Structure 1
Amino acid sequence: MDTLLPVASGADAGALTADELRELYSLMVAVRHLDTSAIAWQRQGIIPGYAPELGQEAAQVGSGYAVDTTRDFVFPTYREMGVARTMGVDMVAYMSTHKATWHGGLYNPMESRLAPIQAVVAGSVLHAVGWAHGQTLDGKDGVALTYFGDGASSQGDVHEAMNFAAVMKAPVVFFIQNNGWAISVPTERQVAGGSVAARAAGYGIPALHIDGDDVAAVVEATRRAFAHARAGNGPVVIEAMTYRRGPHSTSDDPGRYRSLDEERDGAGIDPLERLRQRLLADGIADEAFFAEALAAAKAEEEQIRTGVQALGSRPGTEMFDLVFQETTPALQAQAANWREESEHV
C-alpha cells in the first residue's frame, strides 16, 4: 500500500549513501546490544523493568534517522529506545525511567526534541497532534513524529488524533510498528481488516505500508512522509511491518501464547543480519567494520550501565512539588502525611 503522492523534497530525496548505510548499521548494532543488555540488567536487579524491542531495530533506527532535530519533535511510547539512541539522546538519562528514578526520563525534551517517555497506551498521539497543530498556527515547518503499536491502534485516542490531524492538516507522521502482537493477542485478532494503514483512507490521510525490517526502506518512507507534512499537505500514516522477537516486557512470558516454532516462523530474517548481508554484497563494509561496530556497541553499553547504576534516588518531595503550578489543600495534606511517615517530621 502506497497512497502518498510524490513531493519534491530536495536534500531528502535520493538513495542512501555508503556512509549512511554504514552509520545505520552501527546504530542498529548499538541499539541491539543495549536492548539485550537491558534485559540482563533487569535480571540482575539493576533496573526493575524494561520493554524489549528485539527485531524492531530497523523500524526504530530508520525512522529516527529521518528526523531533523533542529525543527521536528518526536513523541515516543515506552519502547522507542532505538529512536532515542538514533537521535543522540543521553542514554543514561533515557534509561533512568526504566530504573524508576524519574518519570519520562532525565533528558531535556526541548534540547533533544524527544518528548518524555509515554507509558499510557496511545497517549503520545494526542500530544503529537497538538504540537503539530501549534506549528501550523505559528507558521513554522516542524513535523511531529509519533509512535504506537498495532495494539494501541485500537484505542479511541488514535481515532481522535487522526481525525483532528486530517481536518486541521496538522504536520504529523503516525508511525505504527506492527510487531504482530498486542501483548499476547495476535494482530489478526484485534485489528479489523488486518491493516492499520488501511484505516487512514477513512480520514483522507495518505498511507504507506512498508517492510519495517528493511532499514533503508524505513528511512525512505519516513523522509517522504516528512516532506509531505512539511509542505503543508497534512498528516501521513506509516505502518512498518516487523516482529517482536522477545517478550512484551521483562514481566511477560511469550511462551504462554506462542511456541518457539511460531516465533521463528513469524520473525523472518533478522533486520540486523539483513543489512549486514547488503553491506557485504554491495562491497561497502567488511568483517573488520562489523567487528569494530560491535566493539563500539559493547563499550557504549558498559558506559551506560555504569551511569545507570550510579543514579541516585530522586527527592521524594518531587511527587508533590511538580504536580500543579499552584498546590491544593489536598496535595498539601498528602505531602505532610508523606513527610511524617517517611522523614518523621
Structure 2
Amino acid sequence: MLRRIDSFLACLLATVVLASVLPCYGVGVKVFNTLAIIMIANMFFLQGARLSRRAVMEGMLGWRIHLAILSCTFVMFPLMGMALHAALPGMLDASMWTGVLFLCCLPSTVQSSIAFTSIARGNVAAAICSATLSNILGIFLTPLLVGIMFGRHTGNGSGGIMPIVLQLLVPFIAGQVAQPWIGEWAHRHKKLLSFSDRGSILVVVYTAFSEAVTQGLWHRLPPLQLGRVAVVDAGLLVIVLGLTLLAGRLGRFPRGDRIAIVFCGSKKSLASGVPIASVLFPPDDVGLIVLPLMIYHQVQLFVCATLARRMGARGDGD
C-alpha cells in the first residue's frame, strides 16, 4: 500500500514539475480547462450512477453534517485567519495577509473534496451535497465576509451559480437517472471510478499550477516571502484538519460523515476564489492577493491526497 501512496504523490509532484517547466499557454489553457470540465462532469456522472437513491436522500437530509461543514468553512476559517493575523502580524506583508484572510472567506472546493472523500471511503453523497451547497452559498457569503473584514462594498456575483449547476449537478442527476441501468456496471468497475477521481485531481493541479506559474508565482515575490506564505498556509491547513477531525469525533458522527467533514471542511476553492477576487479587489492587487490561495490549493491537494489514501487503506477513518 505504501508503494501505491508513493506512486500517486509522485504523479502529483510530476504534474507540478510539468506545470512549472511547461505550463499551458493560449489555446492550451482552453484545452486543459475544457478537459478539466469534462473529467469533473464524468466523475460526477459516475458518482451519481454508483450511489443508490437511498444514499443520496440520506446525504441530502443530513443537516447535522452540512451544518458542521458550513460552520468550518464560513465561521471557523475566518476566525482562525484573524487569530493568526493578530498573533503574527509581521510574518507576512500586508498584501499577503489580505490574501490569507481572503482565502479564509472562500467556499470549499467541490471536485477534490468529493474525490478525496471517495478515495477515503467516506460519505460521498453528503460530500456532494455539502460541497455544492458551500459553493452556492459562497457566492453570497464570501463577499459579505470580505466586506466585514476589509470594509469593502461588494456584489454577490450571482452569475456564478450556473457553472456549478451545469458542470456538477446536471451530470450527477444524469448519473442518478441512469443508475438503474448502469449502477451495477459502475460497481463492478470501481477502478474506472478511481481513475476518474484521481485523474480529475491531476488535471486540476496542472491547470491551476500552470495559471500560477504564468502569473509569475516564482518571480513576483522573494523566495523568503513565498516560503513564509507556504508556512502560514500549511499551518492553517494542519490546524483545520485537526479541528475537523475533533469536530467529527465530538459530534459523534459515523465514520463516513467524519471523513466528509474533514475533506469538505478543510478545503478552499481556487476555481471560485480567483474570479471572486477579480470582482472584490483592484485589478493590480488581484495577482498578489490570490497567491496565498494558489499555494494553499497546492498544499491541500498534496496533504489531503496522502490523508485520503491512508484513511481508505485503514478503513476506519481514524
Q: TM-score, normalised by structure 1?
A: 0.22
Higher strand share: 1
Whose radius of gyration is greater, 1 or 2?
1
Q: TM-score, normalised by structure 2?
A: 0.23
